[in-house]
Amino acid sequence: MKIVICDGHNEADYIIKMFKKKENTLIVINNDKNYASYLSKTHRIPVIYGDSYKKNILEEANIYNADVLIALNETNDANQFVICTLAKSLFNVKKVICTVKNPNNVDLFKELGVDSPISSSYLLGNSVRAESSVESLIKSMTLDDNKISMVEVTVSENFAICNRKIMEINFPKFANISCIYRKPNVIIPNGQTIILPKDKLLIVSAPIDQKKVIEYVSRTKEV
Amino acid sequence: MKLKTKDKLGKNKPLPSSKITKVEEENLFAFIPNRKKPLLRNKTIVVGCGRLGASIANKGNKDGKNVLVVDNNKNAFELLDDTFSGYTIVGDVLDYKTLENAYITSAKEIIITTGNDNINIFLALLCRNIYQVPNIYVRLDDPNMSVLLENKDIEIILPFKLSFDMLEKIRTEGGNK
């Protein structure tokens, strides 16, 4: 793979370490002169010093037909955008990844042709929301840009579904129990599987149905 | 204003009947720009209140246009005339909310003259692809950058090229003998 890494300090260092293998060609561009020399000394690779949003610097670095370009300078979103667009439109780079300062720009960048814009606050917000929106028993996560949601529910004894076969409980059609974790085993359930207390159910559904699923599962037994 | 719609997040829209589209609308972080079709486009937006931006804003104001000026520095508006009667908006244009505060959804034309080429390019593409502003004018200091905006129905003004051409023209015509 031909990988281009633009700017960034510790992040660049880390990524170079990760991808420094024989099969990868690394091209490193950095706009900090001292850090550029540090990178080239520690990793023993050529580092180009310059602003990577300039066409001539990218030409000099010969990034034509690279597989991935990673832009790590988080200070200015416009610079990041220009690096990505230049790489895509003029240098035929297959995939561009950039860090974004303003989380609002993530969706805009995606629409304007950047493959994966990454914002730390966007990711943080996502995970905070996933952790806090539901009860303490239940953890949830989402896959593929929030189109699929996975909920983890720990069954307690007072749940209505406890100690019953899955085929008996009339599970809603919009969701599916994809797996049950019963220490120390992982069970792929079928209709005959009995749900026991302290089981962890992993339920897959659409995000819009997530609340309904949680409501359904955590109904308590009618007294 | 009528143009400020409540349903920025798409919540007030009637739910679509099929389930698959529902899932797409239920995006967790709905930082979605306002794409509602405006009732009318009559605003002239000037981004960057430098010498060029301010002069254009002053001229537009004199011609009776509906002018809004955006800049991230409050002091920049001192370049505007005392008689300037349009709106001035302070904010970072890299955040689309500033642009929406400047009624970009009902803009007839936008003139982008900030001092940073990268911001200019980003804004121009944003206005073209997402807000679909009919007339976009961009100033770029670096002529090499204009490749990114070619064939996109964006008018590019290159001060370098203009002065170069002018100089060449004056020199060929004689100049100081």
Q: Lowest-confidence range among A31-35, A60-64, A203-207? A: A203-207
- Please give the interface size between A and B, counted as residue pairs whose CB atoms are below 8 Å apart: 81
**ipTM, 2 dp:** 0.76
Q: Is residue A39 part of a domain?
A: yes
A222 lies in some domain: no
| One domain for residues A69 and A137 | no
Mean pLDDT of A211-217: 80
Identify all chain A residues contacting B97, using CB atoms and an 8 Å cutoff: 104
Instruction: Supply the Cα-derived Rg of chain A in whole angstroms.
Output: 24
- In 10 A of CB A123, how many CB atoms? 12
Phi, psi of A180 (to 5 degrees): -120, 130
Asked which of A64, A97, A123 is the last residue of a domain, the reply is: A123
A108 and A19 housed in the same domain: yes
Among A108-122, B24-38, B155-169, the range of highest mean pLDDT: B155-169
In this model, does residue B27 exceed pLDDT 50?
A: no
E strand spans, chain B: 43-47, 66-71, 87-90, 107-112, 135-139, 155-157
pLDDT value of residue A220: 77
Q: Identify whether residues A106 and A179 lie together within a single domain.
A: no
DSSP for A63-117, please give it.
-TT-SEEEE---S-HHHHHHHHHHHHHHS--SEEEEE-SSTTHHHHHHHTT-SEE
Q: Which of A123, A143, A159 is the last residue of a domain?
A: A123
As a whole number of angstroms, the distance between CA A111 and CA B25 comes to 16
| pLDDT mean over A123-133 | 72
Asked whether residue A48 falls in the same domain as residue A113, the answer is yes
For helices B117-126 and A77-90, give the axis angle rounded to 10 degrees.
70
- Hey, what amino acid is at B171? R
Q: By CA distance, what is B93's nearest residue in A?
A: A78
Whether A193 and A155 share a structural domain: yes
pLDDT at B20 over 70: no
pLDDT(B4) > 50: no
Asked whether residue A184 is domain-assigned, the answer is yes
Q: What is the pLDDT of residue B26?
A: 42
Task: Mark which residues 153-182 of A lie under 8 Å from B by CB.
Answer: none
Q: Which residue has the higher pLDDT, B16 or A163?
A: A163
Which of B94, B121, B147 should we substitute to test contact with A (largest number of A Cβ atoms within 10 Å)? B94
pLDDT tens for B108-138 read: 999 999 999 999 999 999 999 888 899 999 9
Q: How far apart are CA A141 and CA A143, in angstroms?
A: 7
Under an 8 A CB cutoff, do B118 and A102 touch? no
**Highest mean pLDDT, choosing among A21-25, A59-63, B36-40:** A59-63
% of chain A exceeding 90 in pLDDT = 26
What phi-psi label fits residue B159: left (phi over 0), alpha (psi between -120 and 50 degrees) or beta? alpha
Helix (H) or strand (E) holding A44: none
Q: State how far the Cα of A151 lies from the Cα of A214, in Å rounded to an integer.
A: 8
- For chain A, what is the mean pLDDT? 85
Q: A126 vs B95: CB contact, 8 Å cut-off?
A: no
Residue B15 has pLDDT above 80, yes or no: no
- The token duo for B91 is 């904010």
Using CA atoms, how far apart are residues B46 and B113, in angstroms rounded to an integer? 7
Q: Is residue B36 over pLDDT 80? A: no
Burial class from Cβ neighbours inside 10 Å (0-12, 13-18, 19+) for residue A147 reads middle
CA distance A27 to chain B (A): 22
Contacts of A125 in chain B (CB under 8 A): 29
pLDDT on residue B175: 63
Indicate the pLDDT class of residue A206, thresholds 50, 70 and 90: confident
The range of the structural domain enclosing residue A157 comes to: 133-217
Question: For residue A74, what is the domain's CATH number?
Answer: 3.40.50.720
Q: Note whether A111 contacts B27, CB cutoff 8 Å.
A: no
Q: What is the pLDDT of residue B21?
A: 39
Cβ contact B97:B30 at 8 Å: no
Residues A61 and A158 in one domain: no
Tokens of B115: 């001092």
Residue B164 to chain A, least CA–CA distance (Å)? 21
Is there a single domain that holds both residue A106 and residue A151?
A: no
Residues A111, B129: C-beta atoms closer than 8 Å: yes
Q: Is B109 helix (H, G, I), strand (E, B) or coil?
A: strand
Residue A31 lies in a domain: yes
Q: How far is CA A48 from the centre of its chain?
A: 29
Residues A117 and A142 in one domain: no
Q: Does residue A81 fall inside a structural domain?
A: yes
Check whether residue A100 and residue A18 sit in a common domain.
yes
Which residues of chain B does A126 touch, with a Cβ-Cβ cutoff of 8 Å?
A: 28-29
Share of chain B above pLDDT 90, in %: 45
How many domains would you assign to chain A? Answer: 2
Distance between CA A211 and CA B20 in Å, rounded? 17
Task: Say if A128 falls within a structural domain.
Answer: no
Provide the β-strand partners of residue A27: A4
**What's the mean pLDDT in A101-119?**
88
Q: What is the mean pLDDT of residues A200-218?
A: 82
Give yes or no: residues A102 and A156 share one domain.
no
Would you call A123 helix, strand, or coil by DSSP? Answer: helix
- Domain extents for chain B? 50-67+98-137+149-177
Q: Which of A223, A153, A134 is nearest to A195 (CA)?
A: A153
> Do the Cβ atoms of A205 and B23 come closer than 8 Å?
no
Of A123, A142, A168, which residue constitutes the final position of a domain? A123
